[in-house]
Structure 1
């Protein structure tokens, strides 16, 4: 088997020595080419080259969720074709690793490498659904390129938090859960629309849902992790169905405290709920419009401001080693 290993040297939880050990372990089982990323978007370019090659059967992403997202967007640059595209494998190296953990993989890079090798020997894989976001036709965002996401996206509040964290990381701060918590508090205090949301959700065959302050789009569950604690925004979300969405129409101090508590105590059976919460399951197509430009994030990557984004849940988009 010929495989491409995409290595993010800035992965927060793996050292150069650990990465060397993992490369040798993988190379002992396959014909492996290891490439270290050198710029933002490099993993996407490598995934595209692998998709266009005739002999690469497997692409392994060694890094965090951002690295995985880039590789996936490269692999699917011509669209989903799971029977002919290289399979994807993930060795978690980031601070949270939501996609890998949602697949049931160990969060430790060494253990995950062992699990990956076992899965390859036993030919264990699954075909997962993914989310696709694009600028809405007929709007000022129409020309924005489409982009795949593996586990979640968000328009509004949570994307603003992601943007704040990225600013701190660019100044040399490590990505930690405490950093996210502090930036979430600051985003809440600075949020101008927390009492009167600007987001409208439109979907075929249903009345619009208006005045949302927050919109979380989930392709799987959990939504994220706090250390070893899974957090379930949309407990029914699955790689085997369409997309789920959690929307909040109010973010007063009291309601935020209530929904934050519900998130922290959420379970596979129950997520946030209440009169200001909207939960929708297994959506194939829907659009989020905003009266004012809002930040957009996908898989924890801040993508700038948008006023209209159309989301599609694509079942059976990519084969993944599990």
Structure 2
């Protein structure tokens, strides 16, 4: 497999991953990000007017892309079962509302979620690798992943060691992703970049490529525990990265913004960004997800408003 850099000859991936130096040369050879241009592009796309029919499609599409998430120390089996019921049937009064894409929980609650979602198409996702900090030895991280997969997780959301990346230890980050991917087996791997700690959009582009070259099935903005999280410019850069990666390698990688996505307006703006940057191939739950807990309720309320002409309010949707 080869990757074409902006001003270089094609690079063999086995050579790229042979050392920190070769990875650094590759990553720093990627086209730089015009931060002002990225902000202006996002602002321009945010002004797009979405008409009623398109908005109805966007709301249902966004619902189908939600990874309904609970990642709190107070999580209980009962709370997870209730969340799974909502994932399967977001609006108990309306069977036309699509199910969400997945329920995301801690590893010790995977078995509970798996049982509650049996017979449905809703996947079970689990965070792992010492979420949210990523500060643990590799054997511990791999044991975390193995426990989640053994319990039935269909998807693993791992966190990278941001300290290692920012210190220039690119090979360490690369090899951890490769090792986690191997332990995942048939489970899809989402690699959380924690973009709020990466300082620059150039770093977002570099770590996106690093994760994809290492085998990520998805790249994800954030844990939801750090602010800023899924900002427009960050998502733009990640979408450009997956688009360019597919052109270079022929392999498509998904994108999952997470953290701070609370309203239908947020979600619709991000869908516009997906369509205008990566293309409509990414406008499916297979390739784009929203990591969220409160977003679903707002999507349901806006859907009710479109159908009835009245804003029903939060009392008309179930509590997550």
Q: Which has the higher contact order (CA 8 A, sep 6+)?
A: 1
Q: TM-score range by the shorter chain?
A: under 0.3
Query: Greater strand share, 1 or 2?
Result: 1
Query: Greater helix share, 1 or 2?
Result: 2
Q: TM-score, normalized by length of structure 2?
A: 0.24
Q: TM-score, normalized by length of structure 1?
A: 0.24
